[in-house]
């Protein structure tokens, strides 16, 4: 006699609740961990909306502590912005804040306690918590604003508790990130069976789903999973199940669940379909294209490459249009290897990925020096080579995966325009060069950055190679400070470069930036390689 039915019913049949009923499981002062990433990727949107609705209707729950790893939101009122009320939320700990301007405003105005920790540290911390360990010990964050000798990741004067410690272990310094106790986890998958086993076949990333569920179970919390489909118990292929039902407590069905905030489903994000490279967008002429092309010249065949959000994601499009894609592998924080990273609000999704890992494992690879070169943005650069991307002026973006990437990679290329706010630059192909028609209002090269997201001093100590690429000049980090090594044709060094900086770089005899960065329609890669090829669409059997 088969015992399958009794086995299934004995340990695994999970209640399927409405989103409104599920958020009733959250008590006042609870610690809630929200899974997902920016742009709606794996975001449990129905649960977040239900939680906001409950608070608006009943005034409860109150005084929540909310953790999230990647930025949760769409910069248009979704994600964490739904919870942006200082009566509902008392404290937020997150890696990226820019996807939720409303929540970032609460932090900037000191209306909530707020922390910014490295994305990889939070991701790996979940795995440590799942194993019952007291926290994460890592060098990631040393010398940055996360280091308690600077700011300890605290974002305002209201935030006083230290949740990061500086320690010494085996003769080396490190940071210790304390494990949280999670009362409720809100996560998302594509399909659950009646037993709570979860598959992620239509999700644009795997992220921390397993680590989050296990960490919540280990600390006595409740795991609520929002899914698009519910299947019969025991019918999912075990190799497809990424989170077992033994660590899932409750299911919420949302048949209208979208893959990202911009689209219902893109099969090229999930390996069901490979799109032709020619179908990807092409960068318009302008400073962004110049920076992307010049930066891409730093890519060697066979390199494993990471791209930051914003201007650096243009490097992926440059690689596509110049035929570099089959010679390199992109790797992004959300877990993908290979393919072409999506840009904009969907950053973290990838077209045509070759492999998709869980995020903690991807950060292990990054922290261990697996990347050959990384291209990141820069809001501010100072005389010491420090870079700030996390907090400047009235903007709180957060560090995201920036600290993990920049501290673990041998070659780092920072990308951005020379100034910001109203910059107007004419890019000429023949003769190659630029002309600044209107200068930006905000200087990026300042005496001291407002917040240290990247430490030039630590980079020099680790022997990293660091470049700063703009549309008109390229600098390298040296023991004497920043050295001007390239200038765009048509640029007056004194007027267009030195006069627009708050400090004086080392200037010897800078060479011209390569003409390929300014050409109208390059048919070869920036290193002078072979002509562009195209990729035929292929279907992967599942």
Residue 288 falls in which region: left (phi positive, over 0), alpha (psi -120 to 50) or beta: alpha
Alpha carbons 350 and 342: distance in angstroms, whole number: 5
C-alpha dihedral (407, 410, 411, 414), degrees to nearest 10: 0
Cα 402 to Cα 312: distance, rounded to the nearest angstrom = 12
Distance between terminal CA atoms of the chain?
33
Residue linked to tokens 């086995």: 7
Pick the catalytic residue from 194, 203, 333, 486.
333
- For residues 502 and 504, give the distance between their C-alpha atoms in angstroms, rounded to a whole number: 7
User: Active-site residue 333, yes or no?
Assistant: yes
CA distance 43 to 349: 13
The CA dihedral of 95, 98, 102, 107, to the nearest 10 degrees, is 50
Alpha helices in 332-417 (DSSP H): 359-367, 402-408
Report whether the peptide linkage leading into residue 216 is cis, meaning its omega lies within 30 degrees of zero.
no
CA 335 from chain centre, in angstroms, equals 10
DSSP 239: T
CA torsion sign, 199 to 201 to 202 to 206?
A: positive
Q: Which are the catalytic amino acids? A: 333
């Amino acid at each position: 006699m088969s015992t399958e039915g009794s086995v299934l019913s004995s340990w695994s049949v999970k209640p399927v609740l409405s989103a409104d009923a599920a958020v009733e499981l959250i008590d006042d002062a609870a610690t809630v961990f929200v899974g997902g990433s920016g742009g709606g990727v794996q975001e449990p949107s129905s649960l977040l909306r239900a939680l906001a609705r409950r608070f608006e209707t009943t005034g409860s729950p109150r005084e929540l502590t909310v953790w999230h790893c990647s930025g949760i939101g769409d910069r248009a009122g979704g994600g964490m912005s739904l919870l942006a009320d200082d009566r509902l939320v008392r404290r937020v700990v997150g890696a990226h804040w820019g996807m939720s301007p409303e929540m970032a405003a609460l932090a900037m105005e000191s209306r909530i306690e707020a922390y910014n920790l490295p994305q990889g540290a939070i991701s790996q911390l979940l795995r440590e918590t799942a194993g019952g360990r007291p926290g994460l010990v890592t060098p990631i964050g040393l010398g940055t604003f996360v280091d308690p000798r600077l700011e300890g990741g605290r974002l305002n004067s209201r935030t006083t508790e230290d949740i990061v410690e500086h320690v010494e272990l085996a003769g080396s310094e490190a940071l210790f990130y304390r494990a949280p106790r999670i009362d409720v986890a809100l996560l998302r998958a594509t399909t659950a069976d009646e037993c709570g086993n979860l598959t992620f076949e239509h999700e644009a990333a795997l992220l921390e789903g397993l680590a989050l569920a296990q960490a919540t179970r280990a600390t006595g919390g409740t795991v609520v999973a929002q899914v698009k489909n519910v299947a019969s118990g025991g019918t999912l292929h075990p190799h497809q199940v990424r989170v077992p039902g033994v660590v899932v407590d409750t299911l919420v069905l949302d048949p209208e669940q979208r893959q990202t905030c911009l689209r219902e489903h893109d099969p090229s994000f999930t390996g069901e379909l490979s799109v032709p490279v020619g179908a990807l967008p092409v960068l318009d002429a302008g400073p962004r294209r110049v920076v992307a092309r010049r930066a891409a010249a730093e890519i060697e065949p066979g390199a494993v490459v990471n791209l930051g959000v914003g201007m650096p994601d243009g490097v992926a499009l440059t690689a596509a249009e110049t035929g570099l894609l089959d010679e390199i592998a992109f790797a992004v924080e959300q877990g993908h290897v290979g393919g072409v990273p999506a840009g904009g609000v969907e950053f973290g999704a990838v077209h045509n990925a070759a492999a998709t890992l869980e995020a903690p494992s991807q950060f292990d690879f990054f922290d261990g020096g697996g990347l050959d070169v990384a291209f990141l943005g820069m809001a501010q650069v100072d005389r010491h080579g420090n870079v700030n991307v996390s907090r400047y002026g009235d903007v709180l973006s957060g560090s995201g995966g920036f600290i993990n990437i920049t501290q673990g990679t041998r070659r780092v290329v920072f990308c951005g325009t020379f100034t910001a706010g109203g910059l107007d630059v004419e890019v000429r192909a023949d003769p190659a060069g630029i002309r600044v028609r209107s200068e930006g209002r905000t200087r990026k090269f300042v005496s001291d950055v407002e917040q240290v997201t990247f430490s030039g001093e630590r980079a020099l100590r680790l022997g990293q190679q660091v470049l700063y690429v703009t549309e008109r000049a390229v600098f390298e980090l040296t023991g004497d400070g920043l050295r001007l090594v390239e200038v765009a044709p048509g640029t007056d060094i004194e007027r267009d470069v030195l006069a627009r900086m708050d400090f004086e770089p080392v200037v010897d005899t800078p060479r011209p930036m390569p003409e390929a960065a300014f050409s109208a329609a390059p048919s070869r890669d920036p290193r002078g390689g072979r002509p562009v090829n195209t990729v035929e669409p292929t279907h992967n059997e599942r």
